[in-house]
Amino acid sequence: MLSQMLSLIGRLPPSRQFSTTLTPTILLPTYTSLLKALRSSESPNHPHHVFPDSSLPILLKVRPTTDKELLTCKGFGKIRTQKYGSRIYDIFNTSSTPMLADGDPLPQGAPYHTTSPSEEEKAFKIATSTSSNTFISGSAGTGKSILISHLLRHYTPKNCSVTSTTALSAKIINGTTLHSHFKYRVVNNHHMWGVGKLKVKDVIIIDEVSMLTVEAFEAIYRLAKEKNSKVKFIVLGDFFQLPPVDSGWVFMSEVWKEAEFELLELEKSVRHEGDPQWSEVLERFRIGNISNSDIDLLNSRLIENNLSTYPSSFPPLQLFPTNSLVSSFNDLALDKINKPSKTYPTYSLPLQTTSQGVTLKPGAKVVLTYNISQSRGLVNGTTGVVEELKSNSVLVKFEHGRDTIKYTDVGKENKIPLELAYARTIHGSQGSTLSSVEVDLNGVFDYGQIYVALSRVRNLKGLWVRKRLPRLEESPQWWNMVCPSVVEFYGLHNKNVREDTEVDNETRATLFLDVPEYYEDSDNKYIEI
């Protein structure tokens, strides 16, 4: 069973043909519609904060697929390029579906229905045609976030809640964290869910379910069932990626078994389809079936061997396994700025004791760590550059404009909600797509950590390795980063998106609406940690 499972999930499927006969309706998405959808996704209330209308014709003309090309486009500086570049490149790099700019002619001989039903379309059809709870799995970059946007066009904000276990992925899918949505609070040292008024809708979507603890899932599931016995859960994620902190896998829970999730497995990588070799290498890292040639391929990306092509003027984001390494790198980056610094202490409430807070300098790259105002674009994860240090506030230039960040009550602390943003933990990067990244894998300690770090980039050229990685015979245990329980789980339950699933014209038309209506819950706008 185990060997059969590994061979099944370790391969990429061939193109699939369907017996469905489609009527000649133009369902071809355009570059314009996808770029507009990107803006709506990132900033529903102020899409021009992502990029102004004047940038659209230039993007359509240049069709950038690299940072260098995007930086030539009006309205795109280094910050905006780093934040949105990877998603823009995904649009123009799409190879499986021909894309058009408005006014482009159809390719010679192209039928009106230019694409066959994709895995996302088939998974959508299955997930929405049953009342059963559904678990949609798949390796990094297989389009799970895209599928969520399709689901949110089918369901409405009145009957569907979209959530995630992490603030970053919640922001990507324009949802809320589970803790925020289900009103999690710590009251007298007791962890409580459903504190206050809570309405449970008919469908609950949970992204990055692999990072959900058993305790949290059991509490959420029972609470939801108590308030709405007909509630349906659609959860998405990949248990070959990072596990929850200090908890067993959620699929080990008795409540998970009680929920009887139907498993659908997406196989085809969207993020990595432009580099098939890299996609295959990543799949081997995912299931723990690597060879020395795979390790040698990673070592070929050592910075010391590629100094001539390393983007020193626009260095990539650094990924480290631990918070201490991230802090050390951020401090080093700050030291390189030859300007006066200022430390903003953190005050614990209600005793008002002080501790080391955040030290900043003008010109420092920072990230907002708390939701201040969604309408102003000041949400957790927004990046910017420090312009001025004031006595009790910081003036920061964000992509949407300048804002003054003041001391804010965050939980039991009063602090400036900013952190340096030159480096990030591997855990903090899960769910993101990056145009380039520099990884330090020394000190990895968790299942899936190596795979998550490597799979953030779309192709091998976007990866930079800081230190040489040992070959298998040098350190066999170091590479043993796949959880046996996860292998067993997929071996027992694996089911790919069914080959015989027909996708009718109504479903396909729903999936290819020009401008998606992205979900926004007016009662739960803000992403909380």
Q: Are residues 111 and 124 in the same domain?
A: no
Give the end of a domain, one of 406, 424, 442.
Answer: 424
Q: Are residues 311 and 338 in the same domain?
A: no
Q: Are residues 80 and 165 in the same domain?
A: no
The residue-averaged pLDDT of 285-291 equals 90
Q: Are residues 261 and 395 in the same domain?
A: no
Q: Are residues 93 and 135 in the same domain?
A: no
Q: Are residues 306 and 335 in the same domain?
A: no
Q: Are residues 88 and 37 in the same domain?
A: yes
CA distances, 155 to each of 132, 158, 236, 513 (Å):
15, 8, 16, 14
DSSP per residue over 168-208, as a string?
A: HHHHHTT-EEHHHHTT-EEETTEEES--S-----SEEEEE-
* 373 compared with 475, residue with greater pLDDT: 475
Asked whether residue 3 is domain-assigned, the answer is: no
Tokens of 27: 């369902």
Q: Write out pLDDT tens, residues 146-173.
A: 788 888 888 877 888 899 888 777 777 8
Q: Percentage of the chain with pLDDT > 70? A: 77
Asked whether residue 14 is domain-assigned, the answer is: no
Q: Percentage of the chain with pLDDT > 90? A: 26
Asked whether residue 19 is domain-assigned, the answer is: no
Q: What pLDDT, on a 0 to 100 scale, did the predictor assign at position 340?
A: 94
Q: Write out pLDDT tens, residues 324-361.
A: 999 999 999 999 999 999 999 888 766 566 677 899 99
> Over the Cα atoms of the chain, what is R_g?
23
Q: Are residues 97 and 139 in the same domain?
A: no
Nearest-10 crossing angle of helices 484-493, 2-9: 80
Asked whether residue 4 is domain-assigned, the answer is: no
Q: What pLDDT, on a 0 to 100 scale, did the predictor assign at position 493?
A: 56
**What single letter denotes the amino acid at residue 94?**
T
Q: Are residues 130 and 208 in the same domain?
A: yes
Q: Are residues 45 and 78 in the same domain?
A: yes
User: How sure is the predictor about 4, in pLDDT bands with cuts at 50, 70 and 90?
Assistant: very low
Q: Are residues 454 and 377 in the same domain?
A: no
CB distance 344 to 357 below 8 Å = yes
The arrangement of strands across the sheet holding 418-420 comes to 401-406, 393-398, 383-389, 365-368, 418-420
Q: Are residues 259 and 395 in the same domain?
A: no
Alpha-carbon distance of 365 to 433, in angstroms, equals: 19
Range of the domain at 457: 276-316+434-485
Q: Write out pLDDT tens, residues 400-437.
A: 788 899 988 776 788 898 989 899 999 888 877 787 89
Asked whether residue 16 is domain-assigned, the answer is: no
φ, ψ for residue 515, nearest 5 deg: -120, 110
Asked whether residue 248 is domain-assigned, the answer is: yes
Q: 399-404, long-range: CB within 8 Å, 24+ apart, which pairs?
A: 399/49, 399/50, 399/79, 399/80, 399/83, 400/43, 400/46, 400/49, 400/376, 401/49, 403/376, 403/378
Domain count, the chain: 4
Asked whether residue 281 is domain-assigned, the answer is: yes
CATH assignment at residue 74: 1.10.150.80
Q: Write out pLDDT tens, residues 97-115.
A: 334 443 443 333 322 222 3
Give the end of a domain, one of 93, 115, 137.
Answer: 115
Give the end of a domain, one of 373, 403, 424.
Answer: 424
Tokens of 444: 């990895």
The residue-averaged pLDDT of 28-56 equals 75
Asked whether residue 229 is domain-assigned, the answer is: yes
